[in-house]
A = this chain, B = another copy of it.
Amino acid sequence: MSGEFALIDRYFSRPSARAVLGVGDDCALLQSAPGMQLAISTDMLVVGRHFFADADPRLLGHKSLAVNLSDLAACGARPLAFTLALSLPQVDAPWLQAFSEGLLALADAHQCELIGGDTTRGPLTICITVLGEVPADGGRLPVPTSALLRSGAQPGDDVYASGSLGDAALALRALQGTLSLPEPLLVQARQRLEAPQPRVALGQALRPLASACADISDGVVGDLGHILARSGCGARLDASRLLPLLATRQHFAGGPAQFDATYGPDLALQCVLAGGDDYELVFCAAPAQREAIDALAQTLALPLTRIATIEAAPGLRLVDAQGEPLQATFASFDHFMP
């Protein structure tokens, strides 16, 4: 009765503020407010696939929850609580201390309460299930909810991406040694890879504005692709609007042209389109919402960039600033791709 349970108590148990009953019993108990629906998502992070074995545990704790909060953001939900299942190769007190600090700091920032968990010995694996809430009375189709879904995009809608895209993928390549980045730019790009900020406030603010939304975890092509598949439509993506979203390229010494000359002409587009690990939101909205969305970008101090237009014809068409088709080979990040 010592090891497993003492661990949970020491690093992860805190008095519960929001839950009826938190960590320590067979189940946690949570009461949702009248008229609210629960939004639920789960993500598993595995050593060697989602992070390096020697990853900074504080950043890893942060990121493990961030990727889950990003799913809540994508449906416009307010975070409530989460469970944590942890498989560890050994009991390493300093590691657990730092991991729990990173995790719980982000949890506190979003008032998202740790209400239960499980620990076991095994390869380092982190599985978080997060619960949030949205008002039920939203009148969306095909289900009665105010949550942002992937299925609501309409031909003629604008498509936006929040923040910057592709820098996390660039940092990953640098850490894997396949390219080299100047030190200050590497530091910033690593921050994007290792400490993503889930767009929780943006997601909630988009509920009355957006017709569809997804978070960008596997690259904008893949995640916009989910919206298109669920909405039964296609999109025209403007490369000239996408390229400036790679912050590293914008801030490169000598400018974007020097970045392209250094790393080749395709790298920027590949990272932006199919980089993965961005944890920004891609969302659709009717053109009538442009003013409101620009105002929201100001309020949140977060760029919201129009990158595409929804079209009735299925498929993704990548075009240049003149609307001419561009050839581009890209694939969204897929855990089972060779």
Whether A26 touches B215, Cβ cut-off 8 Å, given contacts A43-B118, A122-B48, is yes
Is there a chain B Cβ closer than 8 Å to A32's Cβ?
yes
Are A3 and B336 in contact, CB atoms less than 8 angstroms apart?
yes
Minimum C-beta distance from A328 to chain B (A): 15
Q: Report the separation of the CA atoms of residues A120 and B47 in the bound assembly, to the nearest whole angstrom.
A: 11
Which chain A residues numbered 87 to 130 have a C-beta less than 8 Å away from chain B? 87, 91, 115-123, 125, 127, 129
- Stretch binding the partner chain, chosen from A52-60, A142-150, A157-165: A142-150
Contact A27 B87 (CB under 8 A): no
A300-338 CB mask vs B (1 if < 8 Å, else 0) is 000000000000000000000000000000011011110
Within 8 A of B (CB), among A23-54: 24-32, 34, 37-50
| A20 x B144 contact (CB < 8 A) | yes
B residues in contact with A30, CB < 8 Å? 37-38, 40
Please measure, in the bound complex, the distance between the C-alpha atom of A43 and the C-alpha atom of B129, giving whole angstroms.
11
> Within the complex, what minimum Cβ distance (angstroms) separates A52 from chain B?
14
B residues less than 8 Å from A225 (CB atoms):
1
Minimal beta-carbon separation of A263 from chain B (angstroms): 26
CA distance A32 to B35 in the complex (A): 9
The number of chain A residues with a CB under 8 A from chain B is: 80
Q: Which residues of B contact A27 (CB under 8 A)?
A: 39-41, 71-72, 74-75, 77, 132, 147
Residues of B within 8 A of A149 (CB): 21, 25
CB-CB under 8 A from A25, the residues of chain B are 75, 149-151, 230
Bound-state CA distance A39–B30 (Å) is 7
* Residues of chain B with a CB closer than 8 A to A144's CB: 20
Confirm or deny: A260 has a beta carbon within 8 angstroms of a beta carbon on chain B.
no
Q: How far is the CA of A4 from the CA of B75 in the complex (A)?
A: 21
Known contacts A42-B127, A336-B7: A34-B37 contact under CB 8 Å: no
* A262, CB-defined interface residue at 8 Å: no
> Do A122 and B39 have beta carbons less than 8 Å apart?
no
Residues of B within 8 A of A296 (CB): none
Do A121 and B336 form a contact, CB below 8 Å, given A40-B27, A83-B42, A149-B21?
yes
User: Is A38 within 8 A of B31, CB to CB?
Assistant: yes
User: Given the interface contacts A1-B222, A1-B225, does A143 sit within 8 Å of B21 by beta carbon?
Assistant: yes
* Contacts A122-B123, A129-B129, A145-B21 given; does A87 touch B26 at CB 8 Å: no
Chain B residue nearest in CB terms to A130: B27
Closest Cβ–Cβ distance, residue A138 to chain B (whole Å): 10
Is B37 a contact of A29 with CB atoms below 8 Å? Answer: yes
- Kindly state whether residue A272 has any CB partner on chain B within 8 Å: no
Which residues of B are found within 8 Å of A115, using beta-carbon distances? 40
Which residues of A pack against B, CB within 8 Å?
1-4, 7, 20-21, 24-32, 34, 37-50, 71-72, 74-75, 77, 81, 83-87, 91, 115-123, 125, 127, 129, 131-132, 134, 136, 143-145, 147, 149-151, 213-215, 218, 222, 225-226, 230, 331-332, 334-337
Show 13 residue pairs from A and B whose CB-CB distance is below 8 angstroms, ordered by the A residue.
A3-B335, A20-B143, A26-B71, A26-B75, A27-B132, A27-B147, A28-B39, A34-B34, A38-B38, A49-B122, A120-B335, A121-B336, A127-B127
